[in-house]
């Protein structure tokens, strides 16, 4: 799976009905007030609020690199990309 150029949000799912496994993992990049960026991650069982984690980065580029790295790890674990939004430069 190839990601869009500079994804700013991803929604991933892993469903295995035989194991009663219905998981999601959502990530998005949010700017902060001081020129940095947060990588907001939410994960859990589909249909629940799940867990939330915010990781602060010096700039949006570093947060984008972290998002791409985490997405690759999740894809190797069997997650599928359901939705993504990208920052497009023209």
CA atoms of 34 and 88, how far apart (whole Å) = 23
Model pLDDT for residues 11-56, shown as the tens digit of each residue: 999 999 999 999 999 999 998 888 899 999 999 999 999 999 999 9
CA atoms of 9 and 74, how far apart (whole Å) = 14
Query: What's the pLDDT at 2?
Result: 45
Query: What's the pLDDT at 47?
Result: 93
- Count of domains for the chain: 1
Q: Which domain holds residue 58?
A: 7-83
CA atoms of 34 and 16, how far apart (whole Å) = 42
Evaluate whether residue 89 is within a structural domain. no
Evaluate whether residue 78 is within a structural domain. yes
Evaluate whether residue 88 is within a structural domain. no
What confidence tier does 89 reach under pLDDT thresholds 50, 70, 90?
very low
Evaluate whether residue 90 is within a structural domain. no
Evaluate whether residue 2 is within a structural domain. no
CATH of the domain at 21: 2.20.140.10
Evaluate whether residue 1 is within a structural domain. no
Evaluated on CA atoms 39, 30, 83, 88, the torsion sign reads: negative
């Amino acid at each position: 799976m190839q990601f869009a150029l500079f994804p700013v949000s991803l929604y991933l799912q892993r469903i295995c009905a035989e194991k009663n496994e219905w998981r999601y993992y959502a990530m998005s990049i949010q700017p902060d007030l001081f020129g940095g960026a947060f990588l907001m991650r939410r994960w859990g069982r589909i249909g629940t609020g799940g867990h939330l984690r915010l990781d602060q980065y010096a700039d949006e580029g570093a947060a984008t690199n972290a998002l791409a790295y985490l997405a690759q790890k999740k894809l190797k674990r069997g997650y599928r990309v359901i939705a993504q939004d990208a920052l497009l430069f023209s």
